[in-house]
Structure 1
Amino acid sequence: MDIYLFAIFLLACCAAGATGAVFTPGAWYRSLQKPWFTPPNWVFRVVWTSIYLLISFAGARLAVIEGNAYAMAFWAAQAALSTLWTPLFFGLRRIKGALLAMGPLWLSVLGCTWSAFSLDFLAGLAFVPYLIWVTVAAALNIEILRLNRHVAPLTSVGG
C-alpha cells in the first residue's frame, strides 16, 4: 500500500468529517427522544475514526488496481454524500431531510463495498464496518424521526 495515497484518502475523510466539528450535536440533540439502541456519545468518535482509517486504507489499495473505475466513483460518492447528513441533521435540524440523504449515502457505501470486494478482498473487508455503521445510523435516524415528529426544523440559519 502506498502511504502517500493513504494520506490523500485520509485527508479526504478528514475534510468530510469536518462537518462533525462544525455542526455539533449540542443541547438540541440532547433534548430529542432517542431509541434504546442509541450508542453512547463517545462511541461515535471511536467508530468514525476507525471507519476513516479503514476506508482510507481501502481507497489506497483500490486506487492502484486496474479496472477500479466503479470502486473509485463509489468511494468519491460516499465521501461527498457523507458531508450532507451532519449539516442537515445537526445544522438545520431537518431529521427527515437527513434521512433522505441517508439513502444515497447507504447505496454509495454498498456500491463501494461490493466493487471493492470484486477487486481486492482486504479493501472490501475494510468497507464492511462502514456499511454496518451507515445501516445503524439510518435506523437511528428513522427512529429519531418517529419519536420526535413534533420537533420543527430551523426556519433560518442561526435560528
Structure 2
Amino acid sequence: MDIWLFFIFLAATFGAAATGALFPTGEWYKSLNKPTWTPPNIVFPIAWTSIYLLISFAGARVAGAEGSAYAMAFWGMQIAFNALWTPVFFGLRNLKGSLPIMAALWVAVFGATVTHFKVDFWAGLAFVPYLAWVSVAAALNLQMVRLNPDQKALELQNL
C-alpha cells in the first residue's frame, strides 16, 4: 500500500467530514423526535473517524491495482454522496430530501464493498463496517422522517 495514496484518500474523507463542521446538528436536531435506538451523539464522531480511516486504507490498497476501475468509481461515488447528505439533512433540514441521497449512498457503499472485495480481500473487509453503519443511518433517516411528519425544510432564498 502506498502511504501517499492513503493520505490522498484521507484528504477526500476530510472534505466530506468538513460538511459536519459546516452544518452542525444544533438545537434543531435536538428538538426532533428520534427513535429510541438512536445512538448517543458521542458515537457519531468515533464511528465516522474509524470509517474514514478504514475506507482510506481500502482505497489506497486497490488504487492502481489491475481491475480496480469499478472499485475506484464506487469509492468516488460514495464519498460524493457522503459529502452531500449532511448539507441536505442538517443544512437545509430536509429530512425527506435526504432520503434519496441516503439511498444512493447505501448503493454506493454496497458497490464499493463488493468491488473492493473483488480486488483485495482486506480492502473489501475495510468497507464492511461502513456498510453496516450506513444501513443503520438509512434506517435512522427513514425513522426521523416518519417521526417528524410536519418538519419543513428550510426554503432557499433567491441569490
Letter in 2 for 1:147: L
> After the TM superposition, which segments of 4 or more aligned residues of structure 1 sit over 2 Å from their partners?
none
- Alignment deviations for residues 102-133 of structure 1 (CA, whole Å, 9 cap, x no partner): 11111010000000111110000000000011
* TM-score relative to the length of structure 2: 0.97
Letter in 2 for 1:114: V
Matched, 1:51 2:51: yes
Q: How large is the RMSD of aligned CA atoms in angstroms?
A: 0.8
Distance 2:58 2:26 in 1: 32
Matched, 1:27 2:19: no
Distance 2:64 2:50 in 1: 22
Matched, 1:142 2:142: yes
Distance 1:100 1:68 in 2: 27
Equivalent in the alignment of 2:65 = 65
The CA deviation at 1:151 is 1.1
The CA deviation at 1:65 is 1.1
| Corresponding residue pairs, total | 157
Is there any run of 5+ residues in structure 2 with no aligned partner, and where? none
The CA deviation at 1:14 is 0.3
Distance 1:23 1:96 in 2: 17
- Alignment deviations for residues 8-62 of structure 1 (CA, whole Å, 9 cap, x no partner): 0000000111100000000000000000110000100000000000000000001
Distance 1:130 1:55 in 2: 8
Distance 1:3 1:100 in 2: 34
Letter in 1 for 2:24: T
Equivalent in the alignment of 2:156 = 156
Aligned residue for 1:99, secondary structure, equals: helix
- Alignment deviations for residues 57-95 of structure 1 (CA, whole Å, 9 cap, x no partner): 000001031110000000000011111110000000000
The CA deviation at 1:156 is 3.2
Aligned residue for 1:41, secondary structure, equals: coil
